[in-house]
Amino acid sequence: MLNERKSLILRLIVDAYVQEGRPVSSRSLKDSAGLPESTATIRNVMAALERAGYLTKPYASAGRVPTDDGYRQYVDGLEESPQYTEAFSSRFRSEIREHPVDMESVMESATRILGRLSRNFAVLCGSAEPDCRVTGIRLIELDPLRIMVVVNLSPEHERTVVVRMEREVRKDVVALAEDLVNRAVENCTLDEAREALGSVIRDNMTDEGILTREIAMRREEIFSEPPAVQLYFEERGHLMEQPELSDPRLLQLLLRLLHNKEYLTSVLSDRTDEATRITIGSEHSDRELQPFSLVTAGYRMGGARGVLGVIGPTRMRYDLACTLVGCAARELRAFGEEFLVR
């Protein structure tokens, strides 16, 4: 636990480094923040923060920069900034209402505003359950012990899941099971399909019933919501001003991650809780994400639910990002209540 003085010095260093992008010296900190302590006292506090793992030196004669632990200490003391909240909420409210009242336009507008105001990459992952229906199921025999379940959904989406059997399944049984499953779930919503498939297997001890039971055991996965990922990054010139992204390798890595929709969806799908979440650098389990920070919040908009947020270098305006993401999530929920819930 940091005492009040160390917490203040750390917060000022993070603010200065995020603003300037340069290592912070004791002299520059004293001058910019108007601290009453001498530079020697400030330097001693900075050294203590470095020993504790909150700061580091890029090289011997440099000032200090925050570590991931330093950012975490800083972020844990943040709250949404009242000076930004009303202004940003008003901005989101007016801009998303400028477009036709449909899900895609609103999602695109939300990501555009987030990207522009945060000067980071905005990401949004959402699914609309009530509009999604099962149009057909195919069972494909890969070998006598493995059956591929192919689920076709409307709007256009296809999902495949492989089911492994404990004993061999005949081709005629596969065909009978396919017919049984289709009769149960065709034209159902995803919720209805999960429930229907659970009901149809009761007391059915035929060979096709046994295969259907194996499929039903995976119904939460088979009939999970298809992601509709929207990505937006605007005003790239602002991003290029960030020293971290002047490194072509780092920028290329970030762009590759953002354009891999399947990967990005898997990252966001674990962050659907509505509270704002921040993951900083080395806190990511995936090494490819560790140069970056991710700020997200879950949202509900009418019948849709999802996650939106921003991703950028660890040297990020966390106070700004948290406020923007929180405002956007609340405004999407308000929009859904006003226009999409009937």
Give pLDDT tens digits for 190-249. 889 988 887 766 666 778 888 888 888 888 888 877 655 555 555 455 566 677 877 888
Give pLDDT tens digits for 22-60. 999 999 999 998 999 999 999 999 999 999 999 999 887
Residue from 301, 299, 328, 342 nearest 103 by CA: 301
pLDDT averaged over every residue in the chain: 85
Please say whether the beta carbons of 281 and 71 come within 8 A: yes
Please tell me the predicted confidence (pLDDT) of residue 342: 43
**What is the pLDDT averaged over residues 149-169?**
83
For residue 125, which of 14, 229, 1, 11 has the smallest C-alpha distance?
229
- How confident is the model at residue 106, as a pLDDT? 79
pLDDT (average), residues 64-78: 95
Chain-centroid distance of CA 104 in Å reads 18
Residues 167-184, mean pLDDT to the nearest whole number: 91
pLDDT at residue 270, as a whole number: 81
> What whole-number percentage of the chain has pLDDT above 70?
88
Lowest mean pLDDT among 4-13, 116-125, 127-136: 127-136
Listed range (10-19, 116-125, 144-153, 296-305) with the worst mean pLDDT: 296-305
Q: With 80 as the cut, is the pLDDT of residue 188 above it?
A: yes
Confidence of residue 278 (pLDDT cuts 50, 70, 90): very high
| Stretch 8-34: mean pLDDT | 93
131-149 mean pLDDT: 88
Q: How far apart are CA 230 and CA 106, in angstroms?
A: 11
The one-letter amino acid at 92: F
Give the DSSP letter of residue 224.
P
Across the range 260-264, mean pLDDT stands at: 83
Distance between CA atoms of residues 245 and 249, nearest Å? 8
The distance of Cα 177 from the centroid of its chain, to the nearest Å, equals 37
Encoded amino acid at 193, one letter: A
**Mean pLDDT to the nearest integer, 273-292:** 92
Please state the rounded mean pLDDT for residues 73-93.
85
In the chain the domains, ranked by start, together with CATH numbers, are: 4-76 (1.10.10.10), 82-129+226-340 (3.30.450.40), 133-222 (3.30.390)
